[in-house]
Amino acid sequence: MFNQLKYSKIFFGILLFLPLNGITATQAVEMSSVYKIPISLSGPINPAKILKVQASGGGRVEVLHVKENQHVSKDQLLLTLNNDTQKRQLKQAEIQIKLAESQLKQAESQIKLAETQIEVSSNNVKDQEANLKDIKRRLKDEETLFEQGSSTRSQMDVLQLQYSRGEIALKNAILGLENANLGLENANLGLENANLGLERSKHDAELREDALEDTLIKAKIGGIITAKSFEEGEVISGGAELFQIIDIKQVEIEVQMAEEDLPMISVGQAVLFTTPSYRDVEFTGKIERISWTADPETGRFPLYVIATNPGLKLRAGMSANVYLLKKK
């Protein structure tokens, strides 16, 4: 279908900045024993990555740290929103954590106190039981002596009164033990509530930290600031677009191919391309993906070429003429 031109042996020394799908960091590409298929494919050069930076929350722009066309690195601070309110709320949340920790310590102390009270009450019950048992024994002995005429009624009445008081003391000791156990249950509930309060306070502090972090807008990728939508002192709303950052170290070229030419291409196939800006330079790349659907307006299939950008010569919006390479 097409005349094939034998492509003379040429060595291209290319500095590649980012590895991508088999393209190594620095390599010499030997273009031998291949043919350049003279199909007319052209399309615009676009950055491989484009990021629109948006505001998570609203506020007044306090400090603008970058300007258009500036190179930025990943996580670099781009702007700061007024964050006096967020700082104050975070401080309050941190104080609340300290209060919750103090309440937790108090709850733990209450548990120890309740456990001690249970131990004391248990010992008291045992003492009262032993005392009542002793009085009962003495009362029985006194009754025997009374029947034998060796004791008086008043002596028996004294022991009977002691026994009655011993029963009351035992009941009170048992009631005190029950109250101590109830106190331990309440202390455990207090401890659980204190733990929940501390967790809530920590969660609230995390939210406040996130809110404060949202006032510090940072770059999520390294690249070039190509647009900004505000100035210092302006008030922005949540979701507002603030910057556009492009990563031009890799570029993507979209070209369209006729249906009858599709059998000649495959994903991963090497390509050469040139630009009017650098007519004597041939850049290398490869086919990254092929659309499964045709463009409804042209009836042709979009083809996407990915390539590195040595020396950052290529700029977004440049046009490229793409040539497919095919082995003999």
Residues 201 and 252 placed together within one structural domain of the fold: no
Within-domain flag for 171: yes
Structural contact between residues 72 and 247, judged by C-beta atoms closer than 8 angstroms: no
Rounded to an integer, the average pLDDT of 130-148 is 87
Neighbours of 229 (CB within 10 A): 14
User: How far apart are the C-alpha atoms of 208 and 203, rounded to whole Å?
Assistant: 9
| pLDDT grade for 29, boundaries at 50, 70 and 90 | very low
For 297-317, how does the pLDDT look when each residue is reduced to its tens digit (9 = 90+)? 999 999 999 999 999 999 999
Phi–psi pair at 308, nearest 5 degrees:
-80, 165
- What average pLDDT does the segment 258-266 reach? 88
Residue 218 forms part of a structural domain: no
**Is the pLDDT reported for residue 254 higher than 80?**
yes
Q: CATH no. for residue 158?
A: 1.10.287.620
230 shares a domain with 207? no
Q: Which residue has the higher pLDDT, 27 or 163?
A: 163
Q: Specify whether 63 is located in the same domain as 116.
A: no
Reported as a single tens digit per residue, the pLDDT across 210-233 is 888 888 899 999 999 999 988 888
Q: Which of 287, 288, 281 is nearest to 309 (CA)?
A: 281
pLDDT for res 159 = 85
How many of the other CB atoms lie within 10 Å of CB of 226? 16
Same domain as 137, residue 48: no
User: pLDDT tens-digit profile of 14-28?
Assistant: 223 333 333 333 333
Does position 266 have pLDDT exceeding 50, yes or no?
Answer: yes
Tell me the pLDDT of the chain averaged across its residues: 85
Query: In the listed set 164, 179, 213, which residue is the last one of a domain according to the structure?
Result: 213
Backbone angles phi, psi at 115, to 5 degrees: -65, -40
71 and 88 in a common domain:
no
Mark which of 195, 213, 231 sits at the end of a domain: 213
The answer to whether residues 174 and 124 touch, using CB atoms and an 8 Å cutoff, is no
The band of 36, judged by pLDDT with boundaries at 50, 70 and 90, is: low
The DSSP symbol for 221 reads S
pLDDT computed for residue 20 by the predictor: 35
As a whole number of angstroms, the longest Cα–Cα distance in the chain is 144
Beta-strand relationship, 301-308 and 319-327: unpaired
Return the bridge partners of 255, or none: 303
74 and 92 housed in the same domain: no
Average pLDDT rounded to a whole number, residues 116-136: 93
Q: What residues contact 23, with CB distance under 8 A and at least 6 apart?
A: 16, 286, 308
Is 301 a member of any domain? yes
Range of the domain at 12: 5-82+223-327
Co-location of 227 and 206 in the same domain:
no
Number of domains present in the structure of the chain? 2
Q: What is the pLDDT of residue 212?
A: 86
Q: What is the pLDDT of residue 57?
A: 81
Co-location of 98 and 58 in the same domain: no
Predicted pLDDT of residue 34: 59
Give this prediction's pTM.
Answer: 0.57
Do 18 and 66 have their domain in common? yes
pLDDT number for residue 6 = 34
Task: Give the per-residue pLDDT at 14.
Answer: 29
d(CA 23, CA 204): 47
**b/e for 20-49, b at 16 or more Cβ within 10 A?**
beebeeeeeeebeebbbbebebebebbbbb
Confidence of residue 82 (pLDDT cuts 50, 70, 90): confident
* Pair (90, 63) in one structural domain: no
167, 104 in Cβ contact below 8 A? no
For residue 11, being part of any structural domain is answered with yes
The answer on pLDDT for 85 being more than 90 is no
Is the same domain home to 228 and 128? no
Q: Is 253 left (phi over 0), alpha (psi -120 to 50) or beta?
A: beta
The yes-or-no verdict on residue 30 having pLDDT over 60 is: no
| Same domain, residue pair 299 and 260 | yes
d(CA 59, CA 282): 48
Residue where a domain terminates, one of 213, 242, 272: 213
- CATH classification at residue 249: 2.40.30.170
Instruction: Please indicate, yes or no, if residue 233 is contained in any of the structural domains.
Output: yes
